[in-house]
Amino acid sequence: MILLDRVTKTYNKNLGPALDRISLHVEPKEFVIVVGQSGAGKSTLLKLLTREERQSGGKIIIGGIDYDKLPDKDIPLLRRKIGVVFQDFKLLPNKTVFENVAFALEIVGVSHKEILHTVPKVLDIVNLTGKEKRMPYELSGGERQRVAIARAIVRQPKILIADEPTGNLDPKHAWDVIRVLEKINRYGTTVLLTTHNVEIVNKLKRRVVTIQNGRIVGDRANASYKI
Amino acid sequence: MRIIHTGIVNFIRNASLAIAAMAVMIVTLTIVLFSLIANATFSNTIKQITDKIDVSVYLKDTVSAKQANQLVGQLRTLQNAEKVTYLNKEQVLANYRKQNAGNEQLLQAVNETSNPLPATIHIKPRDLNKINDIKVYLEKPNIKAMESDPPSYSGNLKEAIDNITHATNILREIGIIAVVIFGIVSALIIFNTIQMAIFNRRDEIQIMRLLGASTSYIRGPFIVESMIYGLLSAIISVLIINGVFVAASSTLQATTLGLLDIGYATTYFDSHFWLFLTLQILVGIVIGAASSFIATRRYLRFKTK
d(CA A152, nearest CA chain B) in Å: 8
Decide: pTM greater than 0.90: no
B138-147 pLDDT, tens digit per residue, is: 777 777 777 7
Pairing of strands A159-163, A190-195: parallel
CA distance A136 to B70: 95
For A71, the closest chain B residue by CA position comes to B304
Report the topology of domain B54-156. Alpha-Beta Plaits (3.30.70)
Which CA distances in Å does B160 have to A104, B129, B143?
74, 13, 26
The whole-number average pLDDT for the span A92-111 is 90
pLDDT of residue B225: 83
- Name the phi and psi angles at A155, rounded to 5: -95, 10
Q: What is the pLDDT of residue A134?
A: 93
Return the domain boundaries, chain B. 2-48+162-300, 54-156
Contact A53 B304 (CB under 8 A): no
DSSP state of B156: T
CATH 1.25.40.10 fits A2-220, yes or no: no
**Residue B229 to chain A, least CA–CA distance (Å):** 22
Q: Please write the tens of the pLDDT for every residue from B242-292.
A: 888 877 776 665 555 555 677 777 888 888 889 889 988 998 888 888 888
Q: Rounded to a whole number, what is the largest CA-CA distance in chain B?
A: 103
**Is the torsion defined by CA of B35, B41, B43, B46 positive or negative?**
negative
Q: Per-residue pLDDT tens for B61-115?
A: 777 778 778 777 877 777 777 778 888 777 887 877 777 777 777 777 777 777 7
Q: Under a CB-based contact definition with an 8 Å cutoff, are residues B89 and B115 in contact? A: yes
- Judged by DSSP in three states, B130 sits in helix
> Do residues A168 and A88 make contact, with C-beta atoms less than 8 angstroms apart?
yes
Q: Are A131 and A139 in contact (CB under 8 A)?
A: yes
Q: What angle do CA B113, B115, B118 make, to 5 degrees?
A: 140
Burial class (CB in 10 A: 0-12, 13-18, 19+), A60: buried
A107 interfaces chain B, CB cutoff of 8 Å? yes
Q: Is the ipTM of this complex over 0.85?
A: no
> Which among A117, A182, A126, A132 has a CA at the least distance from the CA of A152?
A126
Q: Please indicate whether, in this complex, the C-beta atoms of B303 and A78 are within 8 angstroms of each other.
A: no
pLDDT digits (tens, 9 = 90+) for B188-235: 777 777 777 778 778 888 888 888 888 888 888 888 888 888 899 899
Are A79 and A71 within 8 A, CB to CB? no
